[in-house]
Amino acid sequence: MLTLNHSPVHSDPEICGGTLVFRGTRVFAQTLLDYMNDGDGLESFLKDFPSVEREDACEFLKLTREKDHS
């Protein structure tokens, strides 16, 4: 679980039932992971979800990689 003061993603029971979304959007964080796993990549994700900032998507991917290596 991400425990940063400023995380690119958050969970709120009032937004999408508490599913982890990118801050300020209703875009599921899992969607970016699905794009990456399917080989579609970051550019494709950002094109399809323009409300997600590139910086937030990159930070989220960085955090998930760090978690996987710890």
E-state strands within the chain: 9-10, 21-22
Indicate the pTM of the whole model.
0.84
Q: What is the pLDDT of residues 14-36, one digit of tens each?
A: 999 999 999 999 999 999 999 99
Instruction: Collect all residues with Cβ–Cβ distance below 8 Å to 18 and sequence separation of at least 6.
Output: 11, 12
Give the span between the Cα atoms of 57 and 70, in whole angstroms.
20
Mean pLDDT of 33-49: 97
pLDDT tens across 51-67, in order?
999 999 999 999 988 77
pLDDT band at 1 (very low <50, low <70, confident <90, very high): very low
Question: What pLDDT is recorded for position 7?
Answer: 86
**CA–CA separation, 33 vs 38, rounded Å?**
8
Domains of the chain: 9-68 (1.10.10.10)
CA dihedral 28, 31, 42, 55 (to 10 degrees): 20
